[in-house]
Structure 1
């Protein structure tokens, strides 16, 4: 098992960092974070950039790893933020300031979500850097960028109606347009280097093993430097919130929550408990396995509550109050529907609930 040599070198020697704790996790930097337009070292050869994003998450974390290629020294960039003017300006500040003259050697995307790869193509173009992603994430991103139709497809409206959305909610969603993905994700290179689960890649003088998870996205790439005890988790593990696990129109018979449970178990097997975990949102933390256990318990507890609630047939939208601790407005209705669908589907797979269809096409689930 890896030890926290990185921890000792990166922040224990710096007395200005006062570690804090919350629910069994230790935050070694004590809430310190990079300044706007700046970077912050979190381990030898690993720097942190934090970018603002709209919505409840408020920010996304990106990581710069010291690297070298046939053109010389530079940095490998892990995730790039959303395609927004504010984000591009932030990167210009970084590369005109603390990283002036530094080149991106490769652009690595953990997964296809816009807050992580929205500017990946921009970075690749600007630095003539290759794109590295898993096949499932790259193909999904390319498909969504290419789907430029303005009108919401009828099958999407039918899916929303089956979940219990009102006509007004369907109309409001349609008014926002269908193809928003391409607006916040710059076109990416047509060629990419595929990341494969279990392979080891050299970044600078460090060996990083690719650990792929699923549930939050199809084929999410995490990176593990076991020798130094550093784990770049992306959105596969977040310290204070549970990543969204959704079932939607694209693959309606899938079981993303089942894949999520399997990925949690896989990370416990393959990633040491004492690594410094670098998440896609939130602060770097220690005690990874405590967090993995907590996420597993949280979702299984939701399943139990939901099963009890299905003592009579319920629509998807009826389940929000049992799954979420907040009111569900129009702005998060799609995500809430996807998450509820994932839990209901998992109850089906486990043989604990069955789905029935009303005469008007609305789905209802009841416990068995």
Structure 2
């Protein structure tokens, strides 16, 4: 166990089996669904109300997830219907069954404005891979057009099949600071960004619980990427500011219910760990940009394992996100030469041997979500 891990505590000895639930607080049930990737699960939550259930996040598309949901319906709902569905953010492991569940129960979907419309856009992003802006994004980062062809031709596990119902055509907007009343409990909407544009978390003061989605995870760090659809974006700045915001709004005795790994105590410690982690990654990039570098050549400094296909796409986006944050703080400058962006550190002291090596080495088993 690392020193960082020892600062967190996990109150439950094991997670629920797929298709089963575990009550973690009165009326709050934890369930898991499988994912077809190295990160092999997602945590979902059922909140019991007076007249029905609220589902928080839905799982990835496909018949396997739907079958687990049918088992939950048959064994865990105590005769009550599902009355509403909340998706914390747009990513397909969270929204993949929103259409199925909404149609099955005639239940409304609740999301933030940006996440709902980004979810509807996301399915078309790779289909537009032959557009000039997609090509520019990869070429200016130092990747070849052949890589773009590979990405477009690769059939992702996230790609919907004909039997997968699309995200519902209407929704109810959730906004930061709003209260969602479920049974005798009130859940405050606390919005973060960086991993996604307007990520909804739910905090219940009475129960001392935070459903954090991907905004706060106990072991892995969520991917924060500049995407081809917003090539000049600065999501890392929003990510860091969001963690500072959560440090102010979420008490230290809160039990965090994350979308991956296991529920934990130690939210204040984990938020600081995440801030420190990304500050450290930015220092790595600064130290390795004393001479001008293109983004793709910086990846081995951030990720120990070789990145391919989807992981390359996500790793590159995160590298650029760190670089854009450094640019915003005046620590990196960028120039366009021969169709590629070159990044160079501004701090002249980085050439001093005594100033090098101040960062931590990246871990071998980096997981990108």
Deviation at 1:170, TM superposition (A): 2.5
Question: Structure 1 length as normaliser, TM-score?
Answer: 0.88
Q: Distance in 1 between matches of 2:35 and 2:109?
A: 22
Gaps of 5+ in 1: 1-20
The aligned counterpart of 1:96 is 74
Deviation at 1:39, TM superposition (A): 0.6
Q: Distance in 2 between matches of 1:168 and 1:162?
A: 14
The aligned counterpart of 1:143 is 121
Alpha-carbon displacement from aligned partner over 1:129-188 (angstroms, at most 9, x marks no partner): 011000010011122346694753232122111111134322211322699655597312
Residue 200 of structure 2 is aligned to residue 221 of structure 1: yes
Secondary structure in structure 2 of the residue aligned to 1:27: coil
Alpha-carbon displacement from aligned partner over 1:185-233 (angstroms, at most 9, x marks no partner): 7312222111010011101110100000000000000000011101000
Gaps of 5+ in 2: 347-369
Residue 255 of structure 2 is aligned to residue 276 of structure 1: yes
The aligned counterpart of 1:46 is 28
Q: Distance in 2 between matches of 1:168 and 1:250?
A: 19
Change (3 A) 1:341 1:330: same
The correspondence for 2:11, drawn from 28, 31, 49, is: 28
Q: How many residues get paired?
A: 342
Conservation of the 8 A alpha-carbon contact between 1:163 and 1:363: yes
Give the 5 Å matches for 1:74-113. 74-99=52-77, 101-113=79-91
Residue 40 of structure 2 is aligned to residue 58 of structure 1: yes
Secondary structure in structure 2 of the residue aligned to 1:298: helix
Which deviates more from structure 2 when the two are superposed, residues 231-240 or residues 328-337? 328-337
Q: Distance in 2 between matches of 1:146 and 1:252?
A: 17
Alpha-carbon displacement from aligned partner over 1:301-358 (angstroms, at most 9, x marks no partner): 1111110100111111111111123221223111011101100101110101111112
Q: Distance in 1 between matches of 2:32 and 2:155?
A: 29
Q: Distance in 1 between matches of 2:245 and 2:157?
A: 34
Question: Structure 2 length as normaliser, TM-score?
Answer: 0.88
Change (3 A) 1:181 1:219: farther
Conservation of the 8 A alpha-carbon contact between 2:191 and 2:200: yes
RMSD (Å) for aligned C-alpha atoms: 2.0
Conservation of the 8 A alpha-carbon contact between 2:60 and 2:158: no
Residue 296 of structure 2 is aligned to residue 317 of structure 1: yes
The aligned counterpart of 1:337 is 316
The aligned counterpart of 2:231 is 252
Which deviates more from structure 2 when the two are superposed, residues 138-147 or residues 292-301? 138-147
Change (3 A) 1:149 1:319: closer
Q: Distance in 1 between matches of 2:54 and 2:252?
A: 25
Secondary structure in structure 1 of the residue aligned to 2:33: strand
Secondary structure in structure 2 of the residue aligned to 1:26: coil
Conservation of the 8 A alpha-carbon contact between 1:222 and 1:234: yes
Alpha-carbon displacement from aligned partner over 1:54-101 (angstroms, at most 9, x marks no partner): 112111110000013xxxx22100000011111111111111223364
